[in-house]
Structure 1
Amino acid sequence: MFSQVHRFRTLGMAALAALGLAAPGLAAQAQPDTVPVDERPSGLVTREELMADRLRRIGVDNPDPAPTAPRNRADSVEWIRWRRAANAATGRRIVVSIYDRKLWLIDGRDTLLEAVAGVGMGVVRGPKGIGMRDFSTPRGRRTVLAKQADPKWTPPDWHYEGLHDGPLRQFPAGGIPLEDGTRVVRRGQHLGVQRGAQFDTIPAERPLVYGGVMYIPPFGTVNRQIPDVLGKFKLDTGDGILIHGTNDPLAVGFWGTHGCVRLFDDDIEFVFDNAPVGTPVFIY
């Protein structure tokens, strides 16, 4: 017998106050998406407008929202293929619908959780003439390879593009010589300024800007790790595609990630507790 879903989170296509642009974590005032623009209360915008404005503010000038239906025949074939695979699967599994912006945790014929999910923002053009980036959530069958509580995000190089008006370079193996004769060097997991025998660590949150150049922190250093972005929990499905929480709930239920699946904190906690390593993940 099918059991009823015992935990739901609903999220309409809310209209948010313009204040949400500066503080996306604030609660939104819900408004139906069907209200014509000229009948909306003054000062309110749709979530789609809010997300598009956010992307443009960081330099993405052609946001390409993830679709809510197949765009062409090839897209339709792939969608049908993986939806059928998800429907035919047995046992405990995670199922994600890109079009519906939903995640389900299913065990046999029982749905343990239905949750609103954020998905990839699609194909976008990066800031300052940087080439196209595909931030779509990939369809297919994946597996929960690892889980972590209180995770930190290790961003790819593209995260640093557009954060600085000047040149962007990799952190050199020999360190960065400074005008006063000191040098920024790596010591284990930390970057710092070497002054003779003294080593002063550089706070992880401080950008590495010297001589007008921004340097990308090396992998394996605390300077390359960003806290809170992934929320309280993450499930790693490989190739940089995570199922995780968030400190920015605006993108939950919408197209605002770089390919990951983003959930509200209580939903990701439930998935974290009830989807062991090895759980298959179907995305269609």
Structure 2
Amino acid sequence: MNIARMARWGGWMASLLLSLGCVGIAPVLRGALLSLETAPVYAEAASIDEATLRRSIARLERRLAARRPAGAYLVVSTTENHFWLYVGGRLIREGRCSTGSYVYLKGSGGRSWLFQTPRGQFFVQSKIVNPVWHKPDWAFVEEGKPIPPPGSPERYEYGVLGRYALAIGNGYLIHGTLYQRLLGLPVTHGCVRLGDADLEVVYRTLPLGAPVYIY
């Protein structure tokens, strides 16, 4: 590896630690982090000898490895609409997903919603078979329908979230979809949608408490 490439890799890894500081997921964050120019510690890489660069990169790799979860975890890119499923740092499945559309919806009374997928570190809080969608107010606003009272039968919709769902907090789910042709596109209201086969593997692999990293 020449010095320029080593500097780029070192700056990339430094950016990973600065930006996330939590997991060793470098293989799937390609191009998503700061460039060499935004990692000042490596900005003068041309004047640094190769041995120094190798030591710096090895140190960063050790820090990443120390923070990698020992068990299963999921990584989701909201820019690429892609997911990676790991067990003990080993990639066992990856594929397309769909995340938030960033559509802005305005309702009456000054209410509004921005459909974005949250970013950060989350954990699987519950696992559900045959989930039922409890439709929030925005779903009726979006359809141009009157908002029913809480607990109304109109609030419950069956068969639209796929066979499984994993809750990661604040009402956000990893679930299936009827619109699998749209996987890979940012079309959701904030949840992460997976195809049927991918969803089953993710559901069976991730235990309760498993980390989910969304960036």
TM-score (norm 2): 0.65
Cα gap change, 1:125 to 1:224, in 2 (>3 Å): closer
Of residues 226, 247, 264, the one that matches 2:157 is: 226
Superposed displacement of residue 267, structure 1? 0.5
Match of 2:37 in 1: none
Gaps of 5+ in 1: 1-76, 166-213
1:230-274 deviation per Cα after TM superposition (whole angstroms, max 9, x unaligned): 111100001011100111113311110011110001100111111
| Structure 1 vs Structure 2 CA RMSD | 2.6
Describe how 1:119-130 pairs up with structure 2 within 5 A: 119-126=99-106
**2:22 is the alignment partner of 1:85:** yes
Which residue number in structure 2 is paired with residue 117 of structure 1? 97
In the other structure, the counterpart of 1:242 is 173
Instruction: Kindly provide the amino acid, as one letter, of the partner of residue 260 in structure 1.
Output: C
Q: How does 1:246-257 map to 2 (within 5 A)?
A: 246-257=177-188
Higher strand share: 1
Stretches (4+) displaced over 4 A = 77-80, 127-132
Of 253, 267, 273, the residue aligned with 2:198 is: 267
SS at match of 1:273: helix
Structure 1 residues 79 and 130: alpha-carbon distance in aligned structure 2, compared to 1, 3 A threshold: farther
Partner Cα separation in structure 2 for residue 225 and residue 79 of structure 1: 42
Residue of structure 1 equivalent to 2:120: 140
Determine which of 126, 129, 134 is the counterpart of 1:154: 134
1: CA distance between counterparts of 2:115 and 2:17? Answer: 17
Q: Report the residue type matching 1:267 in the other structure.
A: D
Query: Which protein has the bigger helix share?
Result: 2
**Deviation for aligned residue 1:154:** 0.7
Which residues of 2 match residues 91-102 of structure 1 at below 5 A?
91=70, 92-102=72-82
Q: TM-score, normalised by structure 1?
A: 0.50
Structure 2: give runs of 5+ residues left out of the alignment.
1-14, 25-63
The 2-side partners of 1:81 and 1:243 are apart by: 24
Task: Name the % identity.
Answer: 34
Q: Which residue of 1 aligns with 2:143?
A: 163
CA distance in 2 between counterparts of 1:223 and 1:283 reads 32
Aligned partner letter, 1:116: R
Which string of whole-angstrom CA distances, capped at 9 and with x for unpartnered residues, describes residues 165-195 of structure 1?
6xxxxxxxxxxxxxxxxxxxxxxxxxxxxxx
Report the CA distance between 1:85 and its aligned residue: 2.5
Alignment-mate amino acid for residue 85 of structure 1: C
Superimposed CA distance per residue, residues 126-165 of structure 1 (whole angstroms, 9 cap, x where no aligned partner): 4789764221111111000001111111121111114346
Aligned counterparts of 1:215 and 1:133: Cα–Cα separation in 2: 15
> Which deviates the most, 112-121 or 86-95?
86-95
Distance 1:98 1:117, change over 3 A: same
